[in-house]
Chains A and B, each alone.
Chain A
Amino acid sequence: MKRNPDSIVNVLGKTLYVDDLPENAGMLHGAVVLSPSAHGRYSGLDESKALALDPSVRVLVAKDVPGQNQLGSAVLDEALLAEGDWHYHGQVLALVLASSRVLARRAAARVQILGREDLPAVTDPREAFKRGDIILSPRTQRMGDPEAAYKDCALVLEGRVESGGQEHVYLETQGAIAWPEDSGGARVISGTQSPAATQKIVARVLGVPMNRVEIETRRLGGAFGGKEDQANGWAALAALGAVKSGKPVKVYLNRRDDMLATGKRHPYSSDFKIGLSADGMILAFEADYYQNAGAACDLSPAILPRTLFHAAGAYRVPNVRVTGTMCRTNLVPFTAFRGFGGPQGLFVMESAIEQAAAVLGMDPVEIQRKNLLKTGDSFHYGQDVEDARAEATVTRCLQKARYETLRAEITAFNAAHKDLKRGAAAFPLCFGISFTKIMMNQGGSLVHVYNDGSVSVATGAIEMGQGVGRKIAIVSASTLGAPLASIRIDSTRTSTVANTMPTAASTGADINVMAAKVACDEIRKRLIGVAAARLGVEPSAVALEAGRVYLNAGAAATGSEARRDAGLSFADLVNLAYEQRVDLSAHGFYATPGLHFDMKSEKGHPFLYHVYGCAVISATVDTLRGSYQFDDAFIVHDIANSIDPIVDMGQIEGGFAQGLGWAALEELKFDDKGLLVSNTLSTYKLPDAHFMPRMDVEFYDKPNPTVVANSKAVGEPPLMYGIAGYFAVLDALKAAKPGKKGFYDLPMTPEKALRFLADDEPKEQGS
């Protein structure tokens, strides 16, 4: 069994996450004072009760920021510390420092807001849109002419679709520790997915150039996109505290503060129009997506296009017009979350197909199958479909799930039961890989081979449980010809590899493995040169593999037929190179080739390749209580050549669980005043083991020649399979209420299910 050695420290309980690192004497702990409502003004803070609690207490506010009090990147619209007003529930008003965390939190609770005046709050993106409160401009992508195409359609349907937000619930909450530096800058250990971005914000807040700020990131206890831009503020607060107090400062959020103050997946409200032929071919599709961006821009402009790119799902649609708008509301700034806008768009298309199928009297699976993308088709954003794997994976998955039999079983079961109804649904996946912002598709590495033969590989990749370190180690070892055990993946530091991109968009392995490979290739070349000179052969006659030097078959000097061991180990060779003053370090750089996109025409080639796959999920609904359970999930996933099957299996099952949670359990709830009411793990429920169905995952392993090791990125795509869970429950609900129109308001919840079953709906949604 291939074990991930990186996990050994985890199971021994020895992994040091941010809050586990040894604390320096005199370290101060930070706690935050958060805004109490969704929108308001205040005249100041009364700190006296907090200060009276303990001599170590200190309160920092906006005017204490030496540099710019600004967290925004695409748009400068987000203050680190509020200045007289707040725009969402949970915005940071002050940082409170004290000698212990409990003390800091108790002190923070004693800070009083003076002159508080609550202002009207907008929570609905459509309302914000109506008021013209949008961020940047709407974006539209089109192909063909949907208006004209509707004339040829046997069925044209319009509808409205809602999807809710999602809390990341990385088990390790956000945090950072900062040490003041005599340069006026700071050294920070931060739980960030993007050390370079964090470095930039910390430098801006401190008012120093980036070269005076070092960010180091070790292993993260989960991130899922939630520690991309959203990690910057906590690092900046820790650095601010450190510079102001002259002491190391740790800011580590408790769960409630983390849930209140940090961004989540965007809720969307969307309208669609779909046109089909009588036999279920999709001829035209239009959609308007109102993205609830929250109170600040954050990463919304990068997330919105991914919704548009994935609007048509895994289907060939000849006529498309899709428009997305970022709407500014008084909710926490929504941010990156695994899937990055893709799931929201895909859910709209699947909702349209489900409704069309009901009208046409077809199984949705039939429409899904008929319209799958084929090699040679075009995506509506201008890219050609290459190496399509939709049909292969869908066919295999339906086979695996014995779909026809399953349908027959469900029909029989439903005829025999009144209190329970079963349902099933499929979801075909097509997900584009690359950062949608072209400049972000770059990465660097720094590889050192030490003179004892051990190797240190640094890249911009952050390990957060997705096994990227393992993949980098495997490819580095095979490139160098070094034993796998000799490779150590270094923590990610801005001083080692500069200007790195976030570990995100599923590209962490693709880009950073390549960057490491470039550097390893360089060192390997040098080592082979040393070995060839020593052995008196041409470099081409020498091979380096798994820690040994070999002479290739037929190498001139040996005259021998078979390849043979040259009697040198990797470590011997390294030492030889060291003695000969050969450079044993190299920097690597990789920029994903072939990507381009024109924002004006909204056409180009934004993705290096696409990941395909299919899920079939079945569910049982308790028609008395409206509760449901998922029975089976069959998944066939386009993994191509798996670098590490155990790691990849974990990504697929784990991603699917998050998707199923988003689709059918996790309900991010704000009240009508914009207060987050699902702000603890007792009110926000995420999947537990009992919630998850039996899972049967199969790899579709056709190699992918476009990237290293013929593999495919795996981080985000499996999340989307959860969408089938929503429709499996809906299918079962409809079995209990034949002929009743469905509802398209994700997540599915027992409450919505019972409302449907008991006909409690005042008016039907989604029409």
Chain B
Amino acid sequence: MKRVIRFRLNTRLYEEEVQDEALALDWIRSTAGLKGTKEGCREGDCGACLVLMGGRAADGSTEWKGVTSCTLGMGDLDGRHIITIEGLAADGLTPVMEAMLDEGASQCGFCSPGFILALTGFLVSGVSIDPVAAMAAVEGNLCRCTGYGSIRRAAATLCADFADLPAGLAPRLALLASRKVLPPELAALMASPPEALGVAEAAFASIHPADPARVTIGGGTDYYVRNPDPEPDTAPRFSDQAPEARAIRKALVSGQAILELGAAVNTDDFFSSLLVRAMAPGIERFASDIASPPIRARATLTGNIANASPIADMTAILIALGARLVLEGDPGGERLVELPDFFLGYKKLDLHAGERIRGIVLPGEPVMFNFEKAAKRARLDIATVNSAIAVRMAADGSIAAARYAVGGVAPVPLRLKEAEALLIGKKPSAALARQLGALAYEAGSPISDVRGASRYRRRLMERLAWAHCIRLWPELRLEEELLA
């Protein structure tokens, strides 16, 4: 659908009529004519199209994150700031580019703009400056030429040169401008108040009140992969643009503490939330198992659920955490559905016409949590199978409560109630792990496909069950017995 939106591209403010559902990548290359943003896959997997996107952070400040412009709808640029390689290169070479040149990290060069934007975003972001963090920042970028040796060396040089970056956004931007990482004009704009920059809450939700014909798009990281050349005049509604939709809140419902997550809470929001971390201590270490930084910055939990993939990682995690969905839009009023019950069959959801997910509710009680994902490549890969477990222990060392989720072995993500029944009341042991493994081995009816044979999936289910026990109770050293 055509609509006028307001956003900034590099230093220039646009007030443009755009096709809502069109890809930002196509618009940047064809309409804005900026060819430094490349198309390498059109499905979020290579990072050649990476741009930095500035917007309101959950706390109201402005933040910039690398995002893949091939999974980004134009409508979602409303109130946002986009930085492309042309914006960085406005005054010539920057230290990030120079480091790449000095190490020979640009061979054919097709991947280079994406890497440079990701590394620049890393310096802007204010995370701790070290080579490991720098390389984590480019986990969404592929290079087929260099073998990454030169890119690692360039990243290490940058970390040494910028070890002293101040923590606060304004002084950091000032330093990055003075050291020419950002052109001064761009840096000055970035340091200005959000309104002056053009970063604002878009009033999108109010422009498009609930309308059954509209398809809701969260981060678009699934939608655009399935619709790489979207038909014009689909009329998407971007849940990301709704005020409050990215909030994670604690609430009391009849004396019980719960967590409420808005529809647009994305993967980064989830893992960085202190409330989530307090509920499932250590959960943040699983963030890097999910997709890549540019995808995590966009991918919503609701999108992960509603795309109904049997191997959706966040869905497995949320099932283990006991999630319920708040569904709105049905004439009969809002409904609350247990997450496992939401999946009726392969890609079939308990979602009435006109309904959408308004939010997710989690029980607030603290749990011990573990997540396991088996995939071909350790980073940025879709799971062959996955599994998540959450338990609470009784005072006597036995398991008081358990939730067990598995993905990739059935047409839908599964909650394994038999496994939970097995665990409850027992003390963890190698024998229990074996029983759990045997049960998980039989779970579902895995198929053979590009990611693995059914036999392999079963074996993994058993092994991931063992892995849960080993990781939840490391002091028992169960691996000694299980792998003897």
Contacts and interface: CB of A to CB of B under 8 A. Distances in A.
Q: Do A and B bind each other?
A: yes
Interface of A: 1, 3-4, 7-17, 19-20, 102, 105-106, 168-173, 219-222, 224, 254-255, 418-419, 464-467, 623-627, 629, 646-647, 649-650, 652-658, 665, 667, 669, 677-678, 680-683, 685-692, 695, 697, 749-751, 754-755, 758, 760
Nearest to B382: A682
Contacts of A224: 144
B135, B229, B479: residue with the most chain A Cβ atoms closer than 10 Å = B229
Residue from A17, A680, A689 whose CB has the most chain B CB atoms within 10 Å: A689
B377 A685 contact: yes
B450 A690 contact: no
30 contacts: A4-B104, A7-B101, A10-B109, A11-B109, A11-B113, A12-B97, A13-B36, A13-B37, A13-B89, A17-B110, A106-B229, A106-B231, A171-B48, A171-B142, A418-B484, A629-B378, A646-B104, A653-B146, A657-B146, A681-B40, A683-B451, A688-B139, A688-B141, A688-B380, A689-B152, A692-B149, A750-B376, A754-B460, A758-B463, A760-B455
B379 interface: yes
B212 to A, nearest CB: 25
Given A657-B146, A682-B382, 13 more contacts: A12-B89, A14-B36, A17-B38, A19-B35, A172-B38, A222-B145, A623-B483, A653-B146, A686-B144, A688-B141, A751-B456, A754-B456, A754-B463
Contacts of B384: 751
Nearest to A12: B89
Contact of A691 (B116, B151, B378, B470): B378
A222 B150 contact: no
Contacts of A688: 139, 141-142, 148, 377, 379-380
Interface string B102-118: 11101111111100100
Contacts of A656: 147
A692 B145 CA distance: 13
B467 interface: yes
Nearest to B149: A653
B358 interface: no
Given A627-B378, A683-B451, A19 B456 contact: no
Contacts of A657: 146-148
A10 B450 contact: no
B480 interface: yes
B452 interface: yes
Contacts of A760: 455-456, 459
A665 B376 contact: yes
Nearest to A690: B379
Given A171-B111, A222-B144, A692-B148, A418 B480 contact: yes
B86 interface: yes
- From B225, B384, B460, B470, name the one whose CB has the most chain A CB atoms within 10 angstroms: B460
Interface of B: 26, 34-43, 45-46, 48, 84-86, 89, 92-93, 97, 100-104, 106-113, 116, 135, 138-139, 141-152, 225, 228-229, 231, 372, 374, 376-382, 384, 449-453, 455-456, 459-460, 463-464, 466-467, 470, 479-480, 482-484
Q: Which of B48, B111, B484 has the most CB of A within 10 A?
A: B111
A10 B143 CA distance: 13
A630 B85 CA distance: 33
A3 B105 CA distance: 10
Contacts of A690: 135, 139, 378-379
B116 A653 contact: no
B170 to A, nearest CB: 27
A576 to B, nearest CB: 36
Contacts of A220: 108
A681 B466 contact: no
Contact of A8 (B45, B93, B374): B93
B142 A419 contact: no
Contacts of A13: 34-37, 84-86, 89, 112-113, 116
A688 B151 CA distance: 11
Contact of B108 (A12, A464, A626, A681): A464
Contacts of B459: 754-755, 758, 760
A48 B54 CA distance: 45
A9 B470 CA distance: 51
A722 B381 CA distance: 22
Nearest to A222: B108
Nearest to A758: B459
B267 to A, nearest CB: 17
3 shortest A-B CB distances, which residue pairs?
A13-B36, A10-B109, A465-B108
Nearest to A695: B149
Nearest to B34: A13
Nearest to A221: B110
B41 A255 contact: yes
Question: Which interface residue of A169, A466, A680, A682 has the most chain B CB atoms within 10 A?
Answer: A682
B36 A625 contact: no
Contacts of A1: 102
Contacts of A222: 108, 110, 144-145
A629 B376 CA distance: 11
Contact of B470 (A254, A624, A627): A624
A680 B112 CA distance: 21
Query: SS class of chain A's interface: helix, strand, loop or mixed?
Result: loop
Given A624-B479, A760-B459, A221 B108 contact: yes
B109 A465 contact: yes
A625 B460 contact: yes
Contacts of B150: 646, 649-650, 653
Contact of A689 (B34, B138, B376): B138
A736 to B, nearest CB: 8
Contact of B35 (A16, A172, A255, A655): A16
B319 to A, nearest CB: 21
Nearest to B148: A689
Q: Which one of A171, A222, A758 has the highest number of Cβ atoms from chain B below 10 Å of its Cβ? A: A171
Contacts of B453: 751
B111 to A, nearest CB: 5
Contacts of A669: 450
B287 to A, nearest CB: 14
A680 to B, nearest CB: 6
A686 B148 CA distance: 12
Among A7, A13, A682, which residue has the most Cβ atoms of chain B within 10 A? A13
Nearest to B381: A685
A682 B228 contact: no
Contacts of A758: 459, 463
Given A677-B450, A685-B377, A692-B148, A650 B229 contact: no
Contacts of B92: 12
Contacts of A654: 107, 144-147
B41 A680 contact: yes
A467 B101 CA distance: 13
Contacts of A653: 146-150
A682 B43 contact: yes
Contacts of B382: 682-683
A17 B37 CA distance: 11
B145 A650 contact: yes
A758 B467 CA distance: 15
Nearest to B45: A681
Nearest to A657: B147
A222 B143 CA distance: 10
A219 B147 CA distance: 20
Contacts of B100: 7, 11
Contact of A692 (B147, B376, B479): B147
B479 A683 contact: no
Contacts of B135: 689-690
B377 A665 contact: yes
A255 B110 CA distance: 14
Contact of B376 (A9, A173, A650, A685): A685
Contacts of A652: 147
A623 B48 CA distance: 35
A12 B93 contact: yes
Contacts of B38: 17, 171-172, 221
